[in-house]
Amino acid sequence: MDTLEDLFRRLEQLNEIGAALSYERNLDRLLERILLAAKQITHADGGTLYRVTEDGRHLRFEILRTDSLKIAFGGSSGEPLSSKFPDLPLYNDRGEPNNSMVAAYSALTLETVNIADAYTAEGFDFSGTRAFDARTGYRSQSFLTVPMKNHENEIIGVLQLINALAPETGTVRAFSYADQRLAESLASQAAIALTNRQLISQLEGLFESFIQLINMAIDEKSPYTGGHCQRVPELTMMLAEAVNATEDGPLASFSMTDKDRYELKIAGLLHDCGKVTTPVHVVDKATKLQTLFDRIHLVDTRFEVLKRDAEVRCWQSVAAGNERRAAQADLAEALARIEADRDFIRRCNTGGEAMQPEDQERVRQIAQTYRWRDETGQEVDFLSADEVENLTIRAGTLTATEREVINHHIVATIRMLEALPWPKHLKNVPEYAGGHHERMDGKGYPKGLTREQMSIQARIMGIADIFEALTARDRPYKEGMKLSQALEILGKFRDNGHIDPDLFEVFMTQQVYLKYARKCLAPAQIDIERME
């Protein structure tokens, strides 16, 4: 017999449990909390929580607990149920309701089933229960099976409790009417919490799918940036977790909740979304003369014309009565000079390392030393002003104008993200994603922020973005750097005020670089294990 005091205490527990369920974000922990709470308020020794499968034709075992047997499957136990217990069918092979199984019956009829003793109960098949008892020495006696219905009165799961224990003696008893009403109330609250969590998960999944869609568009637009959009978030989270684990030093106070992690993850996935606005021919510019095609072939054709003209002049000189040997010697000298200049221009077109001033000057001399007739028949400089500008790019393959076009992607990113109505737990996404090209000394872009004006998360993403770019193997204009070279450059960035020195220290001491390298770099790039 339940006392009034005991009922009040259990009602208070029910209220506390309901509040706790509403805060739980992790689905597995939520399911576990539901079952443990039901066991607690009904004094049950064991219990099982089932969820209806997506096709609506089965009940899937999610959580199983039996205290006296020390059985714990599903939830935080780390022991999945799917391989141990098959799904429970709601219908037989003929499509008829499986009313012989008490859990299936409760799900199909939306009725609570309270059985005092499974061994004497009629109308249900407890052969599986008897077999379990025979194997374990357990005695399954009282059963309370409660359907879990959502706000539309649709079945989403079943809560089944086994063997109510008398608080005073610990002996098995039947579930009382109060137990049943409390379990039904909990099941109702739990169903709401579970439905809300599922809806949130579905919305988050849809949201992340849209993000992946944007990144896929960037990937389809340019295969040289799609991998970057996936790797930077991964490295960002690796470094963030390393900082989160730091217990001393200037970053010891930094910590992340699950919400913080999700926010940073979303920011990482969206950090380059503005690249959808960047022209493909700029993003994919593999050589200095490349636009929609590599214009080096046009320059090659002009060199061939120069060689033809030199040969014509040679034979014209011979035809005019000049010595053949001298004319051929002049021709050989001219052809050698032309071929050397063509090889030089080809090398200049590849970009890469910093171009020396004397090489830049040689390009300008070649442009004016040779002459050729354009499509209108006019004699013009061998190289146009635009070609000279591109071929004399000091480093890389982009002109100053093209660099501005590339840099505009971060402005577009910020504008796009700031235009979205972010919920409270994602309100920092624009700041995190929009700061990865800023520098600690205020010389970055687009806002020229200093270290003090940036969040730790934005600074983390800045390091991740740089390191990924240095080691990436899929860029059109360079090979992926070896690990030692990339870390040396990153160290120089630390020294010149480009990246956060404290984060760099964690990056190195916690060997985040090595964890990332083993997952994302080619084996040939990993030329060191630890930096001294």
Rounded to an integer, the average pLDDT of 82-107 is 89
Write down the pLDDT at residue 172.
Answer: 95
pLDDT at residue 106, as a whole number: 95
- CB of 263 within 8 A of CB of 423? no
Across 139-147, average pLDDT: 95
Mean pLDDT confidence for 6-27: 62
At residue 522 the predicted structure's pLDDT band, cuts being 50, 70 and 90, is: confident
State which of 201-215, 402-416, 488-502 shows the largest mean pLDDT.
488-502
Instruction: Give the pLDDT confidence score for residue 47 in this predicted structure.
Output: 94
Residue 468: name the closest of 478, 481, 457, 456 by CA: 481
Total residue length of the chain: 532
Helix (H, G, I), strand (E, B) or coil at 332: helix
Examine the pLDDT at 79 and tell me if it is beyond 70: no
Q: What is the DSSP string of 374-428?
A: -TTS-EEESS-HHHHHHHT-SSSS--HHHHHHHHHHHHHHHHHHHTS---GGGTT
Domains recognised in the chain with CATH numbers: 4-200 (3.30.450.40), 222-276+417-525 (1.10.3210.10), 296-397 (no CATH)
CA atoms within 13 A on the CB side of 478: 14
- In 13-153, at which residue ranges do the beta strands (DSSP E only) sit? 44-52, 58-66, 71-73, 88-89, 113-115, 143-149
Burial of residue 56, with CB atoms counted within 10 A of its CB: 0-12 exposed, 13-18 middle, 19 or more buried: exposed
* pLDDT at residue 378 greater than cutoff 80: yes
Contact by Cβ (8 Å): 345, 299: yes
Is 146 in a helix, a strand, or coil?
strand
Number of H-type helices and E-type strands within the chain: 18, 10
CA distance 441 to 449: 8
Phi, psi dihedral angles at 306 (to 5 degrees): -60, -40
For 271, what's the count of Cα atoms within 13 Å in the CB-facing half-sphere? Answer: 34
Q: At what angle do helices 501-509 and 223-244 cross, to 10 degrees?
A: 90
Paired tokens of 247: 């217990």
Q: Is 349 left (phi over 0), alpha (psi -120 to 50) or beta?
A: alpha
pLDDT > 80? residue 467:
yes
The one-character DSSP state at 321 is T
Reported as a single tens digit per residue, the pLDDT across 147-187 is: 988 878 889 889 999 999 998 888 999 999 988 998 888 88
Average pLDDT, stretch 288-294? 82
Backbone dihedral region of 377: left (phi > 0), alpha (psi from -120 to 50 degrees) or beta? left
Dihedral pair phi/psi, residue 182, rounded to 5°: -65, -40
